[in-house]
Amino acid sequence: MKAWSFSTESHPRAERAQAWREAMSRLGLPIEGLSDVEPAAASVVCLTSPLGIEFALVEAGAQTISGRLSAQPAAVWLAVLLYGEATLVTDDLAVSVAMGDIAFGPTGQAAALRLDTRSRLLFVRAPRVALDHRLIKPFNLRVGWLDGSKGVPRILSDLLRATAEELENLSVDQLRPVDLALTEFLAQCLLERGAADADAFDASTPTAHLQRLCQTIETLLPDPDLSLRRVANEEGVSPRYVQKLFASANETFSHYLRSRRLERCRIDLSSPQHARLSISEICFRWGFNGSAHFSRAFREQYGLSPREFRQGREPVGLSAERALSQPRM
């Protein structure tokens, strides 16, 4: 299911504790230490976006969300506190989470989010498949938190809080622009935080340069004449330096450019908002010079033609991958 909701109020009093455990397990958020006594009223509203990013608005009384479920797909989770008091706890971390702050971590790492009072949170789980195209240079992500009062994390926090306020009124398709904005801001925050944890983040480091180059490329994708030299000139560096930056991430400029254009085309082909655009119009709007070349590249990347993809057909193996991205954590 792409959208679902739950409330303890819809269950008999004697069954509410178990029903709540099951609802939270469905989100991949196991509850620790919850007694069988009737819990405080609790509810969930959950939507899964077209990119497979799960948004879950949770309201519940004091309790601890802790533990891990098996067979987790690779993903990054976020939790933004909308109101209440909470504490993020790991083996080497115990930090109070203020309203607007964002706790985060990779699935599979042990962590606990203790709700110290009745609280309302937006949980987000983004499959790595939805983020990897922006996290070009991988790093060892650990559980942590982002100060939601300043910088790019504040913009991300504001986006998440606004999404939470409207979640019950949104359709899955209306989450598409949120998908795109979220992946961009989240990638930037995680890259900065990942490098900062290693005491290495600085505007002049290769990692920062590469991320900035990727952002420049993103704004220039529609230009069919976009070249490595053009990007180098935009950034005031040499073409050779651009090549070296991509090589440091086991990537090339031409492959990265093609992958980003294909991904933008894939998103448009699946969007009802672009249903009236022809396949040729979509490929040209993202910088491809010919529809035949685009179709070959698309099939090579995704395992089926643009027309087959738009008609809803799936290549072998994709159904299983999508199933893994459904609510589990």
User: What is the arithmetic mean of pLDDT over 287-312?
Assistant: 93
- What is the DSSP secondary structure assignment for residue 200, as one 8-state letter? -
Residues 267 and 132 in one domain: no
In a domain, 326, yes or no: no
Q: Which CATH number belongs to the domain containing residue 216 in this structure?
A: 1.10.10.60
Residues 183 and 126 sit within 8 Å (Cβ to Cβ): yes
In a domain, 99, yes or no: yes
Domain boundary among 143, 169, 198: 198
Domain boundary among 156, 181, 198: 198
Task: Determine the 3-state secondary structure of 126 from DSSP.
Answer: strand
In a domain, 220, yes or no: yes
**Helical H runs in 75-135?**
128-131
- Percentage of residues in the chain with pLDDT exceeding 90? 50
Residues 137 and 39 in one domain: yes
Residues 80 and 166 in one domain: yes
User: What is the arithmetic mean of pLDDT over 166-190?
Assistant: 85
Residues 25 and 100 in one domain: yes
In a domain, 309, yes or no: yes
Residues 113 and 248 in one domain: no
Enclosing H/E stretch for 211:
helix 206-220
Report pLDDT for 232. Answer: 94
More confident residue, 166 or 135: 166
Residues 267 and 130 in one domain: no
> What is the number of helices (H) and of strands (E) in the chain?
12, 12
User: What is the arithmetic mean of pLDDT over 150-169?
Assistant: 94
Report pLDDT for 325. Answer: 38
Residues 41 and 89 in one domain: yes
Residues 183 and 212 in one domain: no
Report pLDDT for 29. Answer: 87
Is the pLDDT at 287 greater than 90? The verdict is yes
Domain boundary among 134, 163, 198: 198
Residues 211 and 86 in one domain: no
Q: Which CATH number belongs to the domain containing residue 63 in this structure?
A: 2.60.120.10
In a domain, 327, yes or no: no
User: What is the arithmetic mean of pLDDT over 187-193?
Assistant: 77
In a domain, 325, yes or no: no
- Domain limits for position 141: 3-198
Residues 6+ apart with CB under 8 A from 224: 284, 287, 288, 289
Residues 35 and 291 sit within 8 Å (Cβ to Cβ): no
Residues 117 and 193 in one domain: yes
**Burial annotation 197-220 (CB, 10 A radius, 16+ → b, else e):** eeeeeeeeeebbbbbebbeebeee
Confidence tier at 165 by pLDDT (50, 70, 90): very high
Confidence tier at 175 by pLDDT (50, 70, 90): confident
At 31-87, the pLDDT tens digits run 876 777 777 899 999 999 877 889 999 999 999 998 655 556 678 899 999 999 999
Is the pLDDT at 312 greater than 70? The verdict is yes
Side chain identity, residue 287: G
Euclidean distance between CA atoms 326 and 329, whole angstroms: 9
Report pLDDT for 154. Answer: 95
Residues 185 and 234 in one domain: no
User: What's the chain's average pLDDT?
Assistant: 84
Task: Determine the 3-state secondary structure of 88 from DSSP.
Answer: strand
pTM to 2 decimal places: 0.71
In a domain, 329, yes or no: no
Report pLDDT for 313. Answer: 66
In a domain, 108, yes or no: yes
Residues 154 and 262 in one domain: no
Residues 6+ apart with CB under 8 A from 314: 304, 322
**Count of domains for the chain:** 2
